[in-house]
Structure 1
Amino acid sequence: MATLFDSYRSSYDNVVEDSVSFSGLKHDFFLEAKADLLARLIVERRLVGHPDGPRTLDVGCGIGALHPYLSKILPRLEGCDISSESIERARMDNPDVAYQSYIAPSLPYSDNTFDLAFAVCVMHHVIPQDWCGFIREMKRIVRPGGCVTIIEHNPLNPLTRLAVLRCPFDEDAVLLSHRKTARLLQDSGLRNVRSEYFLLLPTKARPARSVERALSRLPFGAQYATSAIV
């Protein structure tokens, strides 16, 4: 898997843009929606005690495409990935973010290091027999009272499935339902598990986001976020 994503160091942006081009939306739209969701989650999960915000880790961050949208609200943001080439690109693009490459399955951090660890569209690249271990590693590096969050594609959304089908590095993806993800978090000893769907409407206007929030329990959005407390 590391070798696969190493080969997309320079072309990742274009590949993703091509995979979602049928929607008429740019990749930026999806990145902004994820950043907005994470910012809200930090408040709702009460992770704002430190004056500089929570220490946060993006697990499987790739080239750090999401980080320009997060760095202003998360000054203590870090990222890691098994693709060393992607990490080198991330360092070039986001010099204020701390990055590490690593060899799976062990994350390169001590126990209880972070307030929030999240993985965005990473789990479907992990082989299913390793899903439990992946979650437990995320749990290990988050402090008690901190939060683990998984953002994934909604396999019930036909447009999401089309985007995955069009994306060459998603060829072997195994999509997880939000119920499966929630069960993995629960089985790993995490508590207060909750899920929400998002990316339902093709606009970032505030009224549209309000509608999405009202419908977030229904499996309509292109993606979902499942989070839990350590």
Structure 2
Amino acid sequence: MAETVQPEFDAYRDTYVATVEQSFRFSGLSHGFFQESKALMIRDLLALRLADRPEPRLLDVGCGIGTLHPLLSEFFPSIHGVDVSGESIARAKLENPGNLYDVYDGKRLPFATDSFDMALSTCVMHHVPVEHRTGFMAELTRVVSPGGMVCLIEHNPVNPGTRISVARCPFDADAVLLRGRKMRGYMRSAGMVEVAIRNFVFFPTNRPMFRALERRLHWLPLGAQYAAIGRVE
């Protein structure tokens, strides 16, 4: 994974956001909107799954330049990000000096077992070669303490707007989008329990009224993205 992905994402250190926004410009939405949507989903998941851990430790695997982290800082007193792209990690350190960041080889996470309360991976799994997915999921599970949560946020291949955006994004040329059922299978194979899918980004706004409706529709597999979540035993 590292050999193929690292040079590509190194090249987008300073243009990542602009490149992503170009891919979904037709929607009229911004990169910030989608980041806020993810942060609000993660806030909901903490209330649902980790309410007993008031100061959860977060590991973000494939964190890129860390654009999501300012929106998560109020939920996590400790955020640690890793990525195979050294250039992306260098920028993440500049943008988020209060967090910890490391480059890793894309295979084994450089942390002890049970080091975190939650492992997050956002729009990364579709870049992981099929033969490495089982190992990738096993590593996310290994570093999370019992009772903790693993969360993978992914593009929903059923949503036509999502498919158009992915097709237009240059660094998604190798993307193999996964349906929720496939993702659940990988998570269960890694030993996770209480595995579930929560769909989101149904509406082009994050106003409270629409967020409340979106929570009710989480079972409907038509949102632009979904969160796959599981508990570590």
TM-score calculated relative to the size of structure 2: 0.96
Instruction: Provide the rounded CA distance (Å) in 2 between the counterparts of 1:48 and 1:78.
Output: 21
Alignment-derived partner of residue 119 in structure 1:
121
Alignment of 1:4-83 (within 5 A): 4-50=8-54, 53-83=55-85
Point out where structure 1 has 5 or more consecutive residues left out of the alignment. Answer: none
2:103 alignment partner, one of 93, 101, 104: 101
Point out where structure 2 has 5 or more consecutive residues left out of the alignment. Answer: none
Any idea what the Cα deviations from partners look like across 1:22-69, whole Å, max 9, x if unmatched? 11011000000100111111111025424xx10001100000010111
Instruction: Provide the rounded CA distance (Å) in 1 between the counterparts of 2:53 and 2:125.
Output: 29
Alignment-derived partner of residue 216 in structure 1:
218
Instruction: Provide the rounded CA distance (Å) in 2 between the counterparts of 1:213 and 1:25.
Output: 20
Instruction: Provide the rounded CA distance (Å) in 2 between the counterparts of 1:109 and 1:48.
Output: 23
Could you list the runs of 4 or more consecutive aligned residues of structure 1 that deviate by over 2 angstroms after TM superposition?
46-50
The DSSP-based 3-state class of the residue aligned with 2:24 is helix
The count of corresponding residues between Structure 1 and Structure 2 is 228
Instruction: Provide the rounded CA distance (Å) in 1 between the counterparts of 2:51 and 2:7.
Output: 35
Q: Does the CA-based 8 Å contact 2:50-2:149 persist in structure 1?
A: no
Instruction: Provide the rounded CA distance (Å) in 2 between the counterparts of 1:114 and 1:82.
Output: 20
TM-score calculated relative to the size of structure 1: 0.97
Q: CA RMSD in A?
A: 0.9
Alignment-derived partner of residue 181 in structure 1:
183
Identity of aligned residues (%): 47
Residue 210 (structure 1) shift = 1.4
Alignment-derived partner of residue 206 in structure 1:
208
